[in-house]
Amino acid sequence: MRQFLKQALASTVGSLLGLTLFSAVSIAIVSVTIGAIIQSATNSNDTVKIPDKSILTIDLSRSIVDLNPGKTLQEAIAGEANRVIELKSVLNSIDAAAKDKRILAIYLDGSNGKVSSTGFATLKEVRTALERFRATGKKIIAYNIAIDKRDYYLSSVANQIFINPMGSIDINGFRSETMFFKNAFDKYGIGVEVVRVGKYKSFGETWSLDKFSPAARQETQQLLNNLWGEFKTSVGSSRQLTPESIQKMADDRGMFTAAQSIKNKLVDRTAYPDEILTELQKISGADKEDKTSFRRIDIEDYAEVANQKKSSSRKIGVIYAQGSIVSGEGSSGQIGGDSLARQLRELRLDKDIKAVVLRVNSPGGSALASDIIQREVRLLHKEKPVVISMGDVAASGGYWISTYSNKIFAESNTITGSIGVIGINFNYQKLANKNGITWDVIKTSKLADGNTVARPRTPQELAISQQMVDDIYDDFLNKVSESRKLPKQKVAEIAQGRVWSGIDAKKIGLVDDIGGLNDAIDYAAKTAKLDKDWELEEYPTSEGWEEKLIKQFAGSKEVRSLQTQDPLSTELLKVKSELSILKNFNDPHGVYVRLPFNFKLD
């Protein structure tokens, strides 16, 4: 069914791309055509066939995300290189394969050389599932060419790791490299004023400084040390290497050739593609239809079997909060305060929903939107169990919306905390004046133009903003203290905008347990006393086909081009990405509870 749908969509879209103009009539034709294709595919009796002695194949270049609204349509239009797969599908497939007598092994395929953007906390959940699979006695085989830290973190759990003779492994440690725009803003005449509370609340430093402040450097270093420590412990345990030996490798070389990787016990053997094919055929036998392949079932196809739902009138709702938190409805890649609050309210009023798991993967954002969401979480918690599952990042506003719940689960390498508040204001006085633009104002009171971009704020205006930030921070502390049953003084000590790893957050009481999405779901079922009689419902539901198609046409060209960018263009796109954060700054009061910096782990 998946192949039919992809081919049909690709054919339809390919024909439509030949049109010079995408008129309203064309869009209507697309809607009808796509609808017909989907209906045909849905009504098809074709089912996924899983041959005996199959190998479940996982493409390591596919990014694993919590929620992918585009799903199959996105795959068909954007191309193989841009495909993503949802975490729940991956976990379900691995666990189902462990019990499926037709599946003999898992193949972790890194042969196409492309890199995924999956976060390490997400990879931790997948890695744990792979460990469960291997514990059944079934084999895991991994093959790669240029192995980055993400691929190696996952592949290290395999029984055997093969590497191309011309391949390499990057095991040089973690870094967080942040762009600072102060000098550029000074050059062009853009003014930035930041008010904040919390020693470590350093997000505004991206715009107001030219390097890390001492406090930001301290917390970032500790966070990286914790994440790197978890990496060394997990990889070392699987490869029978000590964390100390891995650290020495990172310090002495960092990058290892295939031969050096074998010598240092990072991998087991070298193999060309034909040789790894022979190894896989030894396990499964050759494919009956294609003797140049092995009996394989790709995880996206197997997921159609693994994800089959059981029917029950009693349901657990899993709602995904993924992206920056913004006021209003939000758009793709954002959490709209109003839209998520409305969805939570609907789950609260739905009598069939017996428990809710809120999956949070967010660096935070608007303080107002975060509080609107939290209000609905509190009301929901009074009616039925609410369990939080933290993904790669659940910090600041992401933590704000997580507090009132029965239990908070996080992975050991989840990034969380960041309990602090900032206010940020830009002005363009110098930039405008340099280009002959001036402003004049007529007002009825002294503070009528307090939010203008035409000039810097006065000391009185800054003091008012600081007081607002202080008040919101105090409210944040009170809510954490109440919900987590911690003395406010202790919360104040561990807050200060500081970011914590999941393992440290558990030690200080900000999270309850180390675990992933399935752990949270199981706990929700137990708390609601559902035994095994329940059905999973996931929210939000996918967008309409027409909307997804139009969005894909609008954005797919740039997305595809990112795969082949030269190094200079890649760096320029990073600048664009950093500045694009500003589109999320729509809090009506200009007050934000957000991760202190645009944290990216390399």
Residues serving a catalytic function are: 201, 396
Gap between the Cα atoms of 351 and 383, Å rounded: 10
Residues sharing a CB contact under 8 Å with residue 9, sequence separation 6 or more, in sequence order: 34, 37, 72, 73, 76, 77
Tokens of 470: 């202080």
Pairing of the two strands 407-410 and 386-395: parallel
Q: Are 141 and 250 in contact (CB under 8 A)?
A: no
Gap between the Cα atoms of 453 and 438, Å rounded: 11
The two most distant CA atoms of the chain are separated, in Å, by: 84
Q: Are 590 and 425 in contact (CB under 8 A)?
A: yes
Cβ atoms within 10 Å of 431's Cβ, excluding its own: 17
Gap between the Cα atoms of 164 and 256, Å rounded: 12
b/e per residue, 333-351, with b = 16+ CB within 10 A? ebbbbebbbebbeebbeee
Residues sharing a CB contact under 8 Å with residue 192, sequence separation 6 or more, in sequence order: 182, 185, 204, 207, 208, 424, 425, 426
Upper half-sphere CA count for residue 366 (Cβ side, 13 Å) = 26
Q: Compute the radius of gyration of the chain from its Cα atoms.
A: 26
Reference 530, options 307, 308, 317, 303; nearest CA is 317
Cβ atoms within 10 Å of 312's Cβ, excluding its own: 15
Residues sharing a CB contact under 8 Å with residue 281, sequence separation 6 or more, in sequence order: 294
DSSP assignment of 46-80? ------TTEEEEEETTSEEES--SSHHHHHHHH-G
